[in-house]
């Protein structure tokens, strides 16, 4: 059975009502048969697109404090050492995962631990793969800490289509690896900032599965 994320419930209901109305109105007011069918198929395809975007498949996470798992589904588009200016203010290993509109957009905690930082920043809506998206787009920055991995920062970044980031992480909260950490509506990206020297299990261009695939380990 297909599960949907709670952030999509309202949009799904509205889309379903509008789709039914549109199909009935096309049947009533359009006299050309092929045009009626074309309009109805287009409406159904749009509804299916919305449904698949908000799907929330169950993922069986193998809990392990020695690993950092993919927080989202998508494609690895950046692996590099960078200066992280917001929280660490020093060099970190950045791994960025880009999500297209057809990916599952649930954000999951990359590791278990304590939430030590959680901040929302309004900003622009540059395309998610733009080099400046990490510092100029609408975004949230969250830092998790445990005894094995130390502190790991992840950043939810809105893309050109995304207009709302949902973040459930609260400072002082103990969270569990693989559980629901939020949602980004439409195309977007998540950056991970890991300690230098962390062993990576992915390379550029890899497609990863959120809540399951190991990104890094120690």
Task: Summarize the chain as % helix, strand, coil (round to 5).
Answer: 20, 40, 40
Question: Is 147 within the bounds of a domain?
Answer: yes
Average pLDDT estimate for 13-24 = 96
Which residue, 58, 103, 56, 90, is CA-closest to 195?
90
Domain-embedded: residue 60: no
Mean pLDDT, range 162-186, rounded to an integer:
89
Is 19 catalytic? The answer is: no
The whole-angstrom separation of Cα 7 and Cα 27 is 32
Is 80 exceeded by the pLDDT of residue 5? yes
Task: Indicate whether 22 and 77 sit together in one domain.
Answer: no
* Number of domains comprising the chain: 2
| Alpha helices (runs of H) in 54-166, residue ranges in sequence order | 133-136
Orientation angle between helical segments 9-29 and 33-53, nearest 10 degrees:
180
**Helix, strand or coil, per DSSP, at residue 119:** strand
Q: Let me know whether 99 and 43 are in one domain.
A: no
* Structural domain containing residue 85: 67-217
Region 84-94: mean pLDDT is 95
Segment 17-40 shows an average pLDDT of: 95
**Structural domain contains residue 125:** yes
Can you give the CATH number for the domain in which 192 is found?
2.70.70.10
Comparing 101 with 155, which gets the higher pLDDT?
A: 155
CB atoms within 10 A of CB 7: 18
The active-site residue out of 96, 112, 134, 188 is 188
- Mean pLDDT of the 34-59 span: 93
Q: How far is CA 205 from the centre of its chain?
A: 17
């Amino acid at each position: 059975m297909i599960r949907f994320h709670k952030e999509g419930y309202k949009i799904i209901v509205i889309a379903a009502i509008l789709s039914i109305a549109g199909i009935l109105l096309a049947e009533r007011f359009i006299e050309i048969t092929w045009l009626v069918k074309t309009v109805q198929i287009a409406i159904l395809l749009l509804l299916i697109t919305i449904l698949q975007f908000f799907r929330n498949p169950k993922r069986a996470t193998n809990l392990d404090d020695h690993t950092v798992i993919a927080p989202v589904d998508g494609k690895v588009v950046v692996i590099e050492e960078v200066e992280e200016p917001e929280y660490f203010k020093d060099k970190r290993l950045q791994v960025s995962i880009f999500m297209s509109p057809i990916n599952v957009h649930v954000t999951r905690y990359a590791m278990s631990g304590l939430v030590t930082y959680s901040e929302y920043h309004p900003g622009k809506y540059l395309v998610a793969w733009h080099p400046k998206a990490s510092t100029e787009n609408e975004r949230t920055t969250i830092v998790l800490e445990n005894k094995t991995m130390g502190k790991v920062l992840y950043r939810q970044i809105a893309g050109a289509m995304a207009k709302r980031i949902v973040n459930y992480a609260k400072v002082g909260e103990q969270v569990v690896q693989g559980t629901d950490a939020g949602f980004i509506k439409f195309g977007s990206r998540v950056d991970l900032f890991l300690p230098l020297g962390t062993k990576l299990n992915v390379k550029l261009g890899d497609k990863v599965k959120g809540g399951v695939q190991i990104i890094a380990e120690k």
